[in-house]
Structure 1
């Protein structure tokens, strides 16, 4: 075992402190989409929460850094933005099988691009809720491996902050936020964040900024909010590297990509209203609209894309008293989405539209004071109107449907021990730009469908928490890009396909211990055995899925005003992305170590953080194409941040 790994293990287990989720019954969550089941112990699933205090103590500068390794999250990055995989999906499919939300609003795109996490300033995040496992009934499309819900700070907290940050690779940033009261029951918030950086690699400079304004009304059970957001991200794209180039100089980029870039501008509106009706009903409505424009150049070929997304949700929740007087709840709702996608490049002219309609219902029925039964179902239909100059020059309409059912039990053994068991179906529809890029003779991709079974145990005492989970996830007709498939007319290098059946067996152990009031130690270990169960690759491991991952964290208050944080994140060996045949050997396992130090004095907070403390060289993504394509992970980076709150 080499010295950096030893140092990571020793430091993470002995140097005190981190703040990974204070999981207790007082933590109110909204990921369950219920006003009744609103705490961790009431949801029969593996749910964790990263609190505001956890975020502050970590010293992380962005959401991707904060989430790496949490709840078994595996990160993939082709040096254009991180995507997250939960419960065993390849790097190419991670963004389409993990649902990311902001205050319940989908951040996932209707096209193949991943959710843009840079549009969310970490300084504005109140907490992050992570549900490991399927959530097909409550959230439908793409809630396959897990759901990440990012909760923003409330406008009711009057005041604000300003901050600056500087770091390696010419990183410079500034941010500010102000919240206040407009009049009785009305509050506002305005925030901005800007960063300019060269990033770790050559030809990977990035210039990004976001603006957001929010108005909220709250009086009793009646609530209203309206949020306007603007996001601008301009980033150079470096080339992939061969293995020899990657090992010789991971920071380099080839001259063949000297002009490649991606520039995204996104505008969004989020409006929501909730009101109690009578003594037993709570009604909720929401509307989200986003308009994203992207200009890019890849391998010297320019392209333009426009994506408009409209989502409307209406739901109602009725509370009732079951036999014995225990309170239950019944949720019923409708979700509607209308997405239009226009794309143009030298070789492709595409104008597609996709509509999704779903109805869902979930029942929380108390069988006793200690046991709750959860039943649910969702029925969804999708219609794609495709116009593609190469594949569907005269237009084509494709229709499909998918259903999800849920059955779960949540049981309290005693005051500190809880067990749960849950079976749930999940699904994913082909993206709005996925349907047209199929092999000749393939007219439309079938919906991806899955079945999940999980059970877990939690023990939560005053100064420690421990939990264990086991699960089985089976996927039929997984939608993915196969580089060996026959390309459509005018295309090259493969096509989108429905893959052979695959299954994932996994488990996790997690815990945290307050060694002293000032010293907290946290650990997680996750195991995934993911393989194909049908077809030519039957018995082969799914590529880019590490069988073993782990996180060790520790935080300690050295003094009342000084806090130290250290973290070790382990990723086990795995096959390169796309190596379904398992023919190219595994990549080596590695540890990443991060360190932070904070000083807080009255209204000032100063944070020093070192990511990748030992400057470990590792691939953020490695694809098994004809020449192999390596995308290096970031090397060691030092960041200094200062914030003033008022």
Structure 2
């Protein structure tokens, strides 16, 4: 039934279904760039390992991220390059967004920064609007239910944003300067070097970025009433540093720190004079990794994520005056935790992974009344990856995780994955298991009579997840070709939802199913084509629903690289079918075309000029709805950037 419309439409439409989706990405195989620091990283192999045991993995490279444009935050990069990942930034760069992976909701995907969760457990959502793309080395995407290794909210998948690391023994780096047609400017710089000392290698890296823009008008004139500040501006400054010290050949210590100061407008369609979110975010991690011998390795990671926001809101009144509704009202949170994980290679080639994940949370909110703003969660997990000599082409894994959270019930989940190499070109993969989402502090303890009331008796949301995929990598008409099909199905019980003003567990069951198809074809040495599409089908019972998930979306890209790789260009289109908001209003139904080009000014590839044109045909389209008003996507925007590498 899922493929019926495409298959019965005939060969031409079937090809269109496969290649009309748009993604700006290079035609590259799965590859994780190794560190130059001599001691190998134990932790960074987690995603690549899961690809070998049946989980679908995507890697967005640094080269692809650079195509996202001078003013790109990380949301823009993910929108352009992750197959099957729906992203709709609310009001342009450095703003909240709507996300969906394999039919999941906004917080069904767990976002990590170097393995540290960014989904805050006190307030739920995904906070990506202060992450600069220039600080990111690659983006690793694990699809499907992944609660076994990653815990709550990894219902539809995990996206791990990996920051840049030092990789050269000479002083090196780059600077970028960019400008766009909305008056936006961007500048960033990075420097790095690896030294040798008495302990081993020491790699140092530092970066800085500054993005500022007056923004665009995110609402139609007819939807705005008594509004002074019509554009949604932003100014974001980020400083970061990383140090990696190898301790001999088998141990390493990694320290990371990032500081972000963001001044962000909040757009409003009614009576808005000025609404701002001014925030400071600090993220710090410390990781020690060691290979005890050829068969046993482990890592221990500690982290802290501190977020402090001052919220101000001034409205216009009907008589021409102003009304201050909020003035530097504080809301923020602090997450900190410790994770330890070991990997043992047993006799017979079996691998055992085991770990403990412990996290603590606290917050404060002067805007929303929450009676209890502290929480903690503790988990134990293990996974066995057996080697079956009688079936050398079969690579299975099985595991279990138990997690308990203060203020709510505990959750236990299991997961089975499998990869079978049918031959040199074809592979069959699948995974089946349970995932969970613990209630957050708002859902448990919010106390806003007439608006929201928490429920201390909420149970964790549970889901049963199944994914089945077929992958091909080889030749098509003597050209490099790869393609994959993934079928997925998810049944959710104890759905956490609002009944009038009370947070409750829904009594019914909701089912999400669908498929994802992606393909890449090298037309010749210069031209390449790639595409993806996703179909989501939702079935609900007893009135529980899932909102803001597109029923169908597709993307395609054609790219060209000159033989000497001195210049290149590409064009892409993304199509979004219908999306239903929480107010049962349908939006979506749009296609947006982007284009990009670059030119190196020298054979040494030190000087480069890049161009990105977003929304080439200036399409008026809706990315989300708030208070029954359409939030418009970014209009035609041209961005140019100069890069110098040393």
Partner of 2:322: none
- After TM superposition, give the deviation of residue 304 of structure 1 in Å: 0.9
Deviation of residue 46 (structure 1)?
1.6
Query: 1:266 aligned to 271, 278, 281, which one?
Result: 281
Which residue of structure 2 lines up, in the alignment, with residue 319 of structure 1?
345
| Post-superposition offset of 1:604 | 1.0
Cα deviation for residue 65 of structure 1 reads 1.7
TM superposition shift of 1:120: 3.0
Q: Normalised by the size of structure 1, how large is the TM-score?
A: 0.84
Question: Where do 1:623-634 residues align within 5 Å?
Answer: 623=626, 628-634=628-634
* Residue 29 of structure 2 corresponds to residue 23 of structure 1: yes
Conservation of the 8 A alpha-carbon contact between 2:144 and 2:157 = yes
Q: Which range moved further: 299-308 or 452-461?
A: 299-308
Relative to structure 1, the CA distance from residue 595 to residue 511 in structure 2 (aligned partners, 3 Å threshold; closer, same or farther) is: same
Larger mean CA deviation between 544-553 and 46-55 belongs to 46-55
SS in 2 for 1:359: strand
User: Could you tell me how far apart the structure 2 residues matched to 1:506 and 1:17 are?
Assistant: 20
For residues 423-572 of structure 1, what are the structure 2 equivalents within 5 Å? Answer: 423-437=432-446, 442-461=455-474, 463-480=480-497, 482=498, 485-487=499-501, 495-499=502-506, 500-532=508-540, 534-536=541-543, 542-558=546-562, 560=564, 561-572=566-577
Once residues 378 and 205 of structure 1 are traced to their aligned partners in structure 2, the CA distance between those partners, rounded to angstroms, is: 43
How has the CA–CA distance of structure 1 residues 546 and 265 changed in structure 2, closer, same or farther, with 3 Å as cutoff? same
Query: How far 1:178 moved relative to its partner?
Result: 0.5
Aligned residue among 35, 40, 43 for 2:53: 43
Per-residue deviation at 1:195? 0.7
Q: 1:17 to 1:486 in 2, by over 3 A?
A: closer
> How many residues are treated as equivalent by the alignment?
578
Decide which of 147, 152, 155 is 1:144's aligned counterpart: 155
RMSD of aligned residue pairs (Cα, Å): 2.8
Please tell me whether residue 167 in structure 1 is matched to residue 180 in structure 2.
Answer: yes
Q: 1:36 deviation in Å?
A: 8.0
- Give how far 1:85 is off: 1.8
- CA deviations on 1:221-242 (whole Å, 9 max, x unpaired) are 3121001110111111111xxx
User: Residues 83 and 311 (structure 1 numbering): CA distance in 2 closer, same or farther, change over 3 Å?
Assistant: farther
Name which of 381, 391, 402 aligns with 2:411. 402
Query: What is the TM-score when the length of structure 2 is the normalising length?
Result: 0.84
Does structure 1 conserve the Cα–Cα contact (< 8 Å) formed by 2:372 and 2:441? no
SS at the partner of 1:38? helix
**Deviation for aligned residue 1:552:** 0.1
**Aligned pair partner of 1:621 in 620, 624, 628:** 624
The 5 Å alignment of 1:73-472 reads 73-79=85-91, 80-90=95-105, 94=106, 96-112=107-123, 114-157=125-168, 158=170, 159-184=172-197, 185-201=201-217, 202-218=230-246, 219-239=248-268, 253-254=269-270, 256-298=271-313, 300-302=325-327, 303-322=329-348, 327-345=349-367, 348=369, 350-367=371-388, 368-383=391-406, 398-437=407-446, 442-461=455-474, 463-472=480-489
Counterparts in 2 of 1:24 and 1:292: CA distance versus 1, 3 Å:
closer
Specify the alignment match of 2:224 in structure 1: none
Q: How far off its partner does 1:357 sit?
A: 0.2
Q: CA deviation at 1:559?
A: 5.6
1:317-344 CA distance string (max 9 Å, x none):
001242xxxx331100000000011112
1:603-614 aligned at under 5 Å gives the runs 603-614=606-617
Classify 1:123/1:64 alpha carbon distance in 2 versus 1 (closer, same or farther; 3 Å).
same
Deviation digits for residues 198-243 of structure 1 (CA, Å, limit 9, x no counterpart) = 111224111111100111013423121001110111111111xxxx
Following superposition, the deviation at residue 271 of structure 1 comes to 0.3
Instruction: Identify if the C-alpha distance between structure 1 residues 81 and 318 changes in structure 2 by more than 3 Å, giving closer, same or farther.
Output: same
Take 2:438 and 2:583, find their aligned partners in 1: how far apart are those partners?
Answer: 21
For the Cα contact (< 8 Å) 2:296–2:344, is it kept in 1?
A: yes
Relative to structure 1, the CA distance from residue 468 to residue 476 in structure 2 (aligned partners, 3 Å threshold; closer, same or farther) is: same
For residues 18 and 519 of structure 1, the distance between their equivalents in structure 2, rounded to whole angstroms, comes to 13
Q: Equivalent residue of 1:430, what SS? A: coil
Q: Secondary structure of 1:572's partner? A: strand
Distance 1:376 1:28, change over 3 A: farther
Paired with 2:577 and 2:549, the residues of 1 have a C-alpha distance of 9
The alignment partner of 1:53 has SS state of: helix
8 Å CA contact 1:357, 1:381 repeated in 2: yes
Inter-CA distance 341–31: structure 2 relative to 1 (3 Å threshold)? farther
Cα offset for 1:522? 0.5
Cα distance change, pair 209–497 in 1 and its aligned pair in 2 (3 A): farther
- Judge which range, 24-33 or 456-465, deviates more: 24-33
Quote the Cα distance in structure 2 between the aligned partners of 1:576 and 1:78.
13
1:587 deviates by 2.4
1:56 is aligned to 2:51: no
Change (3 A) 1:351 1:505: closer
Distance 1:550 1:36, change over 3 A: closer
Give 1:554 shift. 1.4
Extract unaligned runs of 5+ from structure 1: 1-8, 240-252, 384-397, 488-494
Distance 1:640 1:413, change over 3 A: same
What does residue 639 of structure 2 align with? 639
Q: CA contact under 8 A between 2:559 and 2:570: conserved in structure 1? A: yes
Residue 84 (structure 2) pairs with residue 72 (structure 1): yes
SS for the counterpart of 1:336 is: strand
For residue 468 of structure 1, report the CA deviation from its aligned partner: 0.6
For the structure 1 residues 25 and 154, does the alpha-carbon distance in structure 2 shift closer, same or farther, using more than 3 Å as the test?
Answer: closer
For 2:241 and 2:58, the matched residues in 1 are separated by 29
